[in-house]
Structure 1
């Protein structure tokens, strides 16, 4: 396979065969990811505080 043919095929695939997401789809995905990240961090923080409380109670006997 020739180099020129290889790069031409890459160019064709990049500009003609890939479907890029629309702007509103990117916004919706970004908002969803931010919401899930914040929710997960708060949830994991709560679990961490709960286990720290349990460990302190268990070892303070």
Structure 2
């Protein structure tokens, strides 16, 4: 009986107590997060390429 009570309380919490975002807000937030994820990955790729180039030049001095 305790498990049933537990799951009923979880259901009540999800349905009646949580404020879910509106569909438009969810779409805008998803686009913003996707944009910054792509931007950050490209930025970090650029920094990585720069440091690889720099380290190769530093250690290839003759």
Gaps (5+ residues) in structure 2? none
> Alpha carbon RMSD of aligned pairs, Å?
1.5
Change (3 A) 1:3 1:53: closer
Normalising by structure 2, report the TM-score: 0.82
CA distance, structure 2, for counterparts of residue 9 and residue 22 of structure 1: 24
Change (3 A) 1:45 1:3: closer
Per the alignment, residue 27 of structure 2 pairs with: 27
Normalising by structure 1, report the TM-score: 0.84
- Number of paired residues? 61
Q: CA deviation at 1:10?
A: 2.1
Change (3 A) 1:59 1:2: closer
CA offsets 1:3-27 (integer angstroms, 9 cap, x no match): 4433332222121111111101110
Which aligned segments of 4 or more residues in structure 1 are displaced greater than 6 angstroms?
A: none
